[in-house]
Amino acid sequence: RLPSQRLLSERLGVSRPSLREALMTLETLGLIRTFPGRGTFVANPDEQPSAKATHWRYSDDFGMSDVFEVRLLLEARLAQHAAETSTLDDIAHLNAVTDRMETAWEKGDLIANVDEDLAFHQYIAGKSRNPLLLQTYNSLSAFLKETQRQPIPFTALERMADSIAEHRAIIDALHNRNASDARTAMVAHIRNTAICAGIAV
C-alpha cells in the first residue's frame, strides 16, 4: 500500500498536483490500483488489465469517444496555428521531444514515453495565436491527457513506430509552414491513437 499523497509529496519533494498527475499516469498504465476507502496499492503484475477492461476514469461524465472527438476539433485547429507561428527553435524542440519519446519506448520506459507525448501536444497547443482557444485546450487538459495515456500500455511495437512517424509528419508540416498539412497530419494521428483505445472517430 502506498503512503498518503501528503506523505508521498513530502518524501519525494514534489508538489501535490505533480504527484497526483504521476499517480494518474501510473494507474492508467496498470502499475497501481486505487480502491475507494482503502487507498492506493502497487498492482500485481500478473493481474494487468486488458485494453478492453481498462477503466476510463471520467465515465460518469462522458465517454472516451467524446473526448477524442473534442481533440480532433481542437488540436487540428491548434496545429494549423502552430504552422503559422512556429520558429526553427520550436521545430528543434519538437524534434527533441519526439526523440526522447522514441528512446523511452525503446527502453520500455512507459512513464517517460507518456510524459514526452503529453509535452509534444501541449507545446503545439502553446503556439496558438488565439488565447481563448488555448485557454479552452488547457481547461480540458485532464481529459485530453487521459486519452493519450489510455492506449499506451496496449500499444504494439509497430503502432508506436507509426505514432513516432506521425509526430514527424506533424513536425514536417509545421516546419514547411503548411497549415493544411499540419491539420491533416494531426487528425490522422489522433484518429489512429483512438483506434488503439478501441475508439473510432
Tens of pLDDT, residue by residue over 78-115, are: 999 999 999 999 999 999 999 999 999 899 888 888 88
**Taking every pair of C-alpha atoms in the chain, what is the biggest distance, in angstroms?**
53
Cβ-based neighbour number of residue 88 at 10 Å: 8
Q: Quick one: average pLDDT of 52-71?
A: 82
- What is the SS3 assignment for 87-102? CHHHHHHHHHHHHHHH
Backbone angles phi, psi at 27, to 5 degrees: -70, -40
Report which of residues 34 and 193 the model is more confident about. Answer: 193
Confidence category of residue 45, pLDDT binned at 50, 70, 90: low
Distance CA 141, CA 31 (A): 22
Classify burial at 158, counting beta carbons within 10 Å of its beta carbon; exposed 0-12, middle 13-18, buried 19 or more: exposed
Residues facing residue 35 across a β-bridge: 39
* pLDDT score of 154: 67
Q: Quick one: average pLDDT of 34-60?
A: 73
C-alpha distances (whole Å) from 23 to each of 3, 141, 145 are: 12, 16, 13
